[in-house]
Amino acid sequence: MTWRGVIEEYRTRLPLGADVEAVTLLEGNTPLLETPRLAEALGLDAHVYVKWEGVNPTGSFKDRGMTVAISQAVSEGSAGVICASTGNTSASAAAYAARAGIDAYVLIPEGQIALGKLSQAVMHGAKVVAITGNFDRALELVTALANEDSITIVNSINPYRLHGQKTAAFEICDALGRAPDQHYLPVGNAGNITAYWMGYREYHAAGVVPTLPRMMGFQAAGAAPIVVGRPVTAPETLATAIRIGNPANWRAAETARDESNGTIDAVSDAEILDAFTLVASVEGIFAEPASAAAVAGLKKVNAANRVPASSIIVCTLTGHGLKDPSRAIDQCPPPPTAADHLGAVRKVLRL
């Protein structure tokens, strides 16, 4: 049967009334790819899979939550939605709002979001404001605006977002026939780790899977409030998607970590860039830098001998690398040029 989007596929496990119509772009059903060359490159004796979320309709995992949040907002008669964003949430909110025929308002930190993400929000007709402050400040302002006007906030403090995002955990269990042993993912505003843990727990409680994974979250070292145990006032990382100093779902992420006997740790920008290049070059998967924090985290945990032999590992690759091509180009030397004849091209290609 053809895929109907995460709401119709998992409606019985979502808190939506039967009369709520799905606003969907047929998100979800993303590939769970086994990545043996990545495992080998990392020196891992384990089954490593990636949940490739960059192939969602707007190129990130945010679409799973947005279909649910915007469907609910429309059913409540909301005329518009608002969010603060490091880029992907705004791209997704703008697309689903366009699909629903309602307004989208977006606050972003000026100069700190990848151009691809900004172009998506603009193309989908969102009203975008770039503020001088960072993401954390944008979220404060958005929360105040949503309270004062009757527009719905669609950041991950909106519970419907997390219910949508938990469907990725369902898909992983459905594909593997079990839960993984360890699940790695990047942590920014800390919604996704919270949502995955909710999904795994629900499947476990319903008897669909007999075990639960350890949740392994990774922040960028310059934006690692959960790791250092206090808000970071001036977060810095080249992985702009997770450049967040005071995550909204901080406590819930700690609960996911503690209940699952997992970890929330930090990886450096250099480690993130290494993993970014590695996944693209050995597996043909072009994920964005923030996504690579999960793989950098797996490398770090393995180096500490904390990945049991033969275990089943899943890393979520949260967003598509094409959203920020200049970051990728910066990683590579510019291509050599050649005159337009065979000899010259052969010489450069060493063929």
Contact residues toward ligand F0G (CB under 6 A) are: 60, 85-89, 156, 186-192, 241-242, 288, 290-291, 318-319
The position carrying tokens 């008897």 is 207
Q: Nearest distance from residue 29's CB to ligand F0G, in Å?
A: 19
Torsion of CA 295, 86, 167, 300, to 10 degrees: 20
When the beta carbons of 95 and 290 are compared against ligand F0G, the nearer one is 290
Scored b (16 or more CB within 10 A) or e, 243-277 reads bbbbbbbbebbbebbeebebbbbbbebebbbbbbe
Which DSSP category does 320 fall into? B
Measured from the CB of residue 254, what is the shortest distance to ligand F0G in angstroms? 13
From residue 217, alpha-carbon distances to 143, 182, 292 in Å are: 26, 10, 12
Element housing 212 (H / E): none
What does the alpha-carbon distance between residue 84 and residue 89 come to, in Å, rounded to a whole number?
A: 8
Which residue lies nearer to ligand F0G by CB, 168 or 313? 168
Shortest distance, position 70 Cβ to ligand F0G, whole Å? 15
Nearer to ligand F0G, 211 or 233 (CB): 233
Residue 202 near residue 81, CB atoms below 8 Å: no
Whichever of 38 and 220 has its CB closer to ligand F0G, that residue is 220
Helix (H) or strand (E) holding 140: helix 135-148
Half-sphere exposure of 202 (CA within 13 A, CB side): 20
Residue 240 carries which DSSP code?
G
Nearer Cβ to ligand F0G (186/225): 186
Q: How far is the CB of 335 from ligand F0G (least distance, A)?
A: 27
Nearest-approach distance from CB 162 to ligand F0G, in angstroms:
9
Which runs of E-coded beta strand occur in 229-306? 263-267
Of the pair 30, 85, the CB lying nearest ligand F0G is at: 85
Q: Of the two residues 20 and 200, which places its CB atom closer to ligand F0G in the complex?
A: 200
Of all helices (H) and strands (E), which one includes residue 99?
helix 88-100
Instruction: Please state the closest distance from residue 85 (CB atom) to ligand F0G, in A.
Output: 3
Q: How far apart are CA 215 and CA 194, in angstroms?
A: 9
Is the Cβ of residue 190 or residue 212 nearer to ligand F0G in the bound state? 190
Question: Closest separation between CB of residue 289 and ligand F0G, Å?
Answer: 8
Question: Cβ 65 to ligand F0G, closest distance in Å?
Answer: 9
Output the smallest distance, CB 190 to ligand F0G, in A.
Answer: 5
Q: Which is nearer to ligand F0G, 46 or 264 (CB)?
A: 264
Give CA–CA dist 116/325, Å, rounded. 8
Residue 14 DSSP SS3: coil
β-bridge partners, 106: 83, 128
Gap between the Cα atoms of 75 and 21, Å rounded: 7
